[in-house]
Amino acid sequence: MKQVVEGSHAVAEAVRLARAQVISAYPITPQTHIVERLSEYCADSTLAARFLRVESEHSALAALIGAASCGVRTFTATSSQGLALMHELLHWASAARLPIVMANVNRAMAPGWNIWADQTDSLAQRDTGWIQLYCEHSQEVLDTAIQAFRLGEWLNLPVMVNLDAFFLSHTYEVVDLPKQNVVDRFLPPYQPRFQLDTKDPCAFNQLAPPNIYMEMRHNIQTAMDDALTFFGQMENEFKNTIGRGYGPVEAIECEDAEIIMVTSGTITSTSRQVLSELRKKGEKIGLLKIKLFRPFPVKAMRELTASARKIAVIDRNFSFGASGIFAQEVRAALCNHPGHPMVFGYVAGLGGRDVTTAVIEEIYRLTKESDLPQQESIWVGLHEVEHAVGQS
Amino acid sequence: MVEIRFHGRGGQGTVVATILLAKAFFRDGYYVQSFPLFGVERRGAPVEAYLRFDREEILIRTNVYTPDHVVVLDKTLLDSTDVTLGLKTGGWILINGAELPAYPNSWSPYKLALVDATHIALNTGLGTRTHPIVNTPMLGGLAQVLGMPSMEAIAKAIQSEVPSKPKANIKAAKMAYEQVRVLEPVKHSKSASKRT
């Protein structure tokens, strides 16, 4: 049924519909509405789950690692500093092959203290072995959070569903909530491949000497490779039962595009508007939305950008000393592909600065007017400042 | 697409007003998007919240810079805030008050309306004498001047969303719908003219 729902509550509804069994979280702005709603559902028995209140995000994930090891469906939500505090256990969750699902509300890292949208928090966790997905609107948030359980449980990998602070987490819009029996058909009860069981005692996560550690790591990569195939299969099932699908990447008018804008999160939605306006003016612009970031959809990226001359990647994130992180990934995906387009990197919208239609048009114009990328990243809309630490 | 900006103070129900209005427009067949100014909320501090509605899917996901209309829940904000910032020519300024406050000449491109939402809130028992909650009467007033959404949709949105005193809130919205006054755009002589 279609309803007007806050983005955070779209996550909570997905977790309710997924029948999560253990939820553990520590509140942090702008994620708090997710676990607030879930704690209400646990308190009034709308959701038959155990809600664990803990003293930190580190403990929140530690609790879920314990719960998931016992073979139950688990969920947590966090944001920025909270996610950073989980870092050690992010590795643990993936290497222990536990299908924990997390919603991360993309928020800037401090200092300076900032609660607004920025993807550096989750992208800084890209090497922890979690599947990472980025959402454009609240419907996609709800659908992706349901899909995340299916994906994670099939692959025995944890899944992080990312949504922009405020632009999604605190925005109300129309969302179609699927019925419980329909979600149950798509997502049957979790059947763990292994679990702690007092009747059949065993030990997990013991010493792994050099002769087996590498194989364990290779297994995780094999699961990541499988994820690219299984994602399509999973989405087909989702389409057949629930009626929607997104794809690991989505190409909009890329076939004849000379310049393809590459985006993720809510910037994609605003870019759709820019695309339709510039197309009306005869500009050969295309748009490529990246939803699946880990594993990175290299093959799809190569195929969908093959006919373009230039790619303009918009990053609401940054890796100091290098460039925007999506731009790095796109360059890495294309570099061994003969005749690939040039990759222009742009950084915009850090710390919640608005990425307006004017900003996106400016990025398109800069790309059109440049023959070659001059820098790894061009910072768009940067104000001039008088003093910078470390400059002589 | 229509964009509306609400100006209020923390505790008056400003953000809830945009959510209720979004739900009412949705009931009347619109796509909607509502969100608060993404900041830190404190009781009594100036608050802004926004609503977009359209017959077509709303793609834009940025802040609102050029609203079609503005709603002012607390007229003391007029001393510190330029509520017409970016307001489109011909847009409504709906103010909570019994009397029209002095306003600058720069308001001449706009349409003014006044509703005594504080009085209505006090008479219907919404909030307390020191902190009347004026959001639902403001919605009634807005529905009248815009000619939409329907009062029925507003009543249903309140009924399903307002946990405390839904009947009194619906009554307040209906009273405001009847009592809102549309004012001729008379130019007053306040000198501090701020055009943006």
User: What value does the mean pLDDT take over residues A105-115?
Assistant: 97
How does pLDDT run across B118-140, given as a tens digit for each residue? 999 999 999 999 999 999 999 99
Which pair of tokens denotes residue A104?
């991360």
Distance CA A227, CA A147 (A): 12
What is the interface pTM, i.e. ipTM, of the complex?
A: 0.93
> Do the domain assignments include residue B191?
no
> Do the domain assignments include residue B194?
no
Q: Which residue in the set A4, A137, A357 is minimally distant from B26, CB to CB?
A: A4
Higher pLDDT, A40 or A376: A40
What's the domain range around B12? 2-184
- As a whole number of Å, the end-to-end CA separation of chain A is 61
User: What value does the mean pLDDT take over residues A81-109?
Assistant: 98
Q: Which chain A residues have any C-beta within 8 angstroms of a chain B C-beta?
A: 2-4, 115-116, 137, 165-167, 170-174, 266-267, 269-270, 272-273, 352, 354-357
Which pair of tokens denotes residue A222?
């094999």
How does pLDDT run across A195-206, given as a tens digit for each residue? 999 999 999 999
Please give the tally of structural domains in chain B: 1
> Do the domain assignments include residue B53?
yes
Axis crossing angle, helix B135-146 with helix B151-161, rounded to the nearest 10: 160
Axis crossing angle, helix A32-43 with helix A7-17, rounded to the nearest 10: 40
Average pLDDT, chain B: 92
User: What value does the mean pLDDT take over residues B51-69?
Assistant: 97
User: What value does the mean pLDDT take over residues A116-123?
Assistant: 98
Distance CA B38, CA B86 (A): 18
| SS3 at position A132 | strand
> Do the domain assignments include residue B196?
no
> Do the domain assignments include residue B192?
no
**Residue A139 falls in which region: left (phi positive, over 0), alpha (psi -120 to 50) or beta:** alpha
* Among chain B residues, CA nearest to A30: B38
Using an 8 Å Cβ cutoff, are A246 and A269 in contact? Answer: no
User: What value does the mean pLDDT take over residues A101-112?
Assistant: 98
Average pLDDT, chain A: 97
The reported pTM is: 0.95
Using an 8 Å Cβ cutoff, are A64 and A74 in contact? Answer: yes
Residue B184 pLDDT level (bands cut at 50, 70, 90): low
> Do the domain assignments include residue B193?
no
> Mutate which of B59, B66, B154, B158 to disrupt the A interface (most A C-beta within 10 Å)?
B59
> Do the domain assignments include residue B189?
no
How does pLDDT run across A33-45, given as a tens digit for each residue? 999 999 999 999 9
Chain A residues in contact with B4 by the CB 8 A cut-off are none
B38 and A270: CB-CB below 8 Å? no
> Do the domain assignments include residue B190?
no
Domain CATH for B41: 3.40.920.10
> Mutate which of A172, A273, A279, A314 to disrupt the B interface (most B C-beta within 10 Å)?
A172
* Among chain B residues, CA nearest to A351: B38
Predicted local confidence at residue A366, as pLDDT: 98
How does pLDDT run across A286-313, given as a tens digit for each residue? 999 999 999 999 999 999 999 999 999 9
Residue A314 pLDDT level (bands cut at 50, 70, 90): very high
Instruction: Using alpha carbons only, give the angle A293, A297, A300 rounded to the nearest 5 degrees.
Output: 140
A174 and B36: CB-CB below 8 Å? no
Using an 8 Å Cβ cutoff, are A4 and A173 in contact? Answer: yes
Q: Which residue in the set B34, B60, B65 is minimally distant from A172, CB to CB?
A: B34
- Count Cβ atoms below 10 Å from residue A21 Cβ, excluding itself: 19
Q: Which chain B residues have any C-beta within 8 angstroms of a chain A C-beta?
A: 18-19, 22-23, 26, 31-36, 38, 40, 58-63, 65
